[in-house]
Structure 1
Amino acid sequence: MNPIKYGAACQALVDTFNALESGQKDHNHWGDVAMNAVRAEIKDHYIAEQNRRCCYCGREYPTDNKAVWDGEHIIAKSVAPHFMFEPCNLAASCKDCNIAKGEDEVRTNPRRKSFSDQSKHYRIVHPHFDNYDDHIRWYGDVVKPLSPKGGELVGMCKLWRFGVTKAGAEVAPPNALVDGMIGVMMDPQADAVTKAVAIEGYKAYVRAQPQKAAD
């Protein structure tokens, strides 16, 4: 992915921030009205650069409406405000992935002072330094991590949420047997017969719920 190259006006604002003393670099500066143009330029660039796909879940959101997208800081701006406008620390994410990831630490060495442009220094799949398909595979709505970094991304951004929603897990109360059936349905390695049995068992369970509630 090509990192953003700021226009002259936005670059001047970024340079002013970067010139501040370390203790003066506050992540809340991101939301200042004066930075509106910078935030808009960042979103416009990465929405287009990523072909309107979230940098974490890879789902397409076919709109340029900036309200739909979040300007994502791979290293959270609250954790390292000095990297807030670093082009390779920026991307566009869907709101659900951004909220799930929150302020989680993504670096293997949080004490590192300089910004790293090497994949090995990040715990998750990095939008700039990793090939997504080397680490994550989607089987429809079911996600399968292909590497430890892929597994970290799945957990941090809750990428399993698509498969769970598709399975209808939110309509059923916690139940170990049901959880097992959902796990089989989401497992791309499960054989066809086992998966079919799990699907039918789960359907029967869901159909029974309204009757139980009426009893």
Structure 2
Amino acid sequence: MIEVNFSISERATIDNYEHSINKSASDWTDKIFDLVKKSIKDHYLKEQNYTCSFCKQKIRVKHNRAWDTEHIISRSSHPAFMFHPQNLCVTCIDCNTEKSSKEVLSTPKQKIRFPNKSSAYIIIHPHFDTYDDHLKVIVAGQLYEWKTPKGRATLNIYGLDRFLKVADRTQLPDPNVRRLMMAALTSKDDVGSYGSFELELLEHLALKHSKKLGPQMSIDIIKKLKEA
């Protein structure tokens, strides 16, 4: 991903902040940064083609209030990285809200220098990782298949399984989704049983969304899951 490139005046504003002694997450709301924040959103919306970095839903809305600027390392834990270009992207409001200030670093301690390697993060980093290497989008916003521990951590931290919670709030909740979800969560075996329930749930959802996915893709997904 190409980083945001700040104008001379924007860079000066950021430099003044970065050289200040007292930095706080609340500084983000200071009006002095309004133009900087607009540049960040405008750049990453275009760079990401109006697609959320984590759930991969495409939202063709140019209005900035429909999107959130994501500080990958939260500004509450590391306010010094608040304007670092590689710590920025845009996300849908749901992903940003779900992630909040959750820890994303492999070694969660105060850093003086910005960690600019993939290995420093437990999640898929939009600047340092290739998303498809870690997480497969089957139905954006609804169904994902994780391939690596990074993919699974991203799914959990950004709540990419939140469609299950939505299913519980509908007037006609899917009883199989609820059954499999509860079976996975109450499983005493953190690896074996949980994984088997998770695979069964993915198979069920692939069938449920067969019209949207197409019959052949649904079959291919189920075959692949059974080989896992």
Match of 1:132 in 2: 131
C-alpha separation in 2, matches of 1:4 and 1:50:
12
Q: 1:187 and 2:202 equivalent?
A: yes
List aligned pairs for 1:53-64, cutoff 5 A.
53-64=51-62
C-alpha separation in 2, matches of 1:80 and 1:191:
38
Deviation at 1:8, TM superposition (A): 1.2
Match of 1:39, SS state, is helix
Q: 1:88 and 2:86 equivalent?
A: yes
Match of 2:160 in 1: 159
Match of 2:212 in 1: none
Deviation at 1:176, TM superposition (A): 8.0
TM-score, length of structure 2 as denominator length: 0.75
C-alpha separation in 1, matches of 2:116 and 2:70:
17
Match of 1:203 in 2: none
C-alpha separation in 2, matches of 1:175 and 1:92:
32
Query: Contact between 2:51 and 2:58, CA under 8 Å: does it hold in 1?
Result: yes
Query: Contact between 1:163 and 1:186, CA under 8 Å: does it hold in 2?
Result: no
Q: 1:45 and 2:43 equivalent?
A: yes
Matched to 2:16, the amino acid is: T
Question: What do the CA deviations read for 1:115-172 (whole angstroms, capped 9, x no partner)?
Answer: 111001101000100001111112223111111011011111110123654xx33226
List aligned pairs for 1:8-157, cutoff 5 A.
8-21=8-21, 24-111=22-109, 112-140=111-139, 141-157=142-158
**Do the aligned partners of residues 184 and 169 (structure 1) sit closer, same or farther apart at CA in structure 2, a change above 3 Å counting?**
farther
C-alpha separation in 1, matches of 2:103 and 2:10:
28
Structure 1 unaligned blocks of 5 or more: 197-215
Match of 1:158, SS state, is coil
Matched to 2:168, the amino acid is: A
The percent of aligned pairs where both chains have the same amino acid is 32
Matched to 2:150, the amino acid is: K
Extract structure 1 runs of 4+ deviating beyond 3 A: 162-165, 172-178, 181-186
Query: Contact between 2:134 and 2:151, CA under 8 Å: does it hold in 1?
Result: yes
Deviation at 1:175, TM superposition (A): 9.9
* Aligned positions, number: 189
Deviation at 1:191, TM superposition (A): 11
Matched to 1:160, the amino acid is: D
Query: Contact between 1:135 and 1:147, CA under 8 Å: does it hold in 2?
Result: yes
Please provide the CA RMSD for this pair. 2.5
Query: Contact between 2:168 and 2:174, CA under 8 Å: does it hold in 1?
Result: no
C-alpha separation in 1, matches of 2:72 and 2:171:
34
Match of 2:68, SS state, is strand
Match of 1:67, SS state, is helix
Structure 2 unaligned blocks of 5 or more: 182-197, 209-228
TM-score, length of structure 1 as denominator length: 0.80
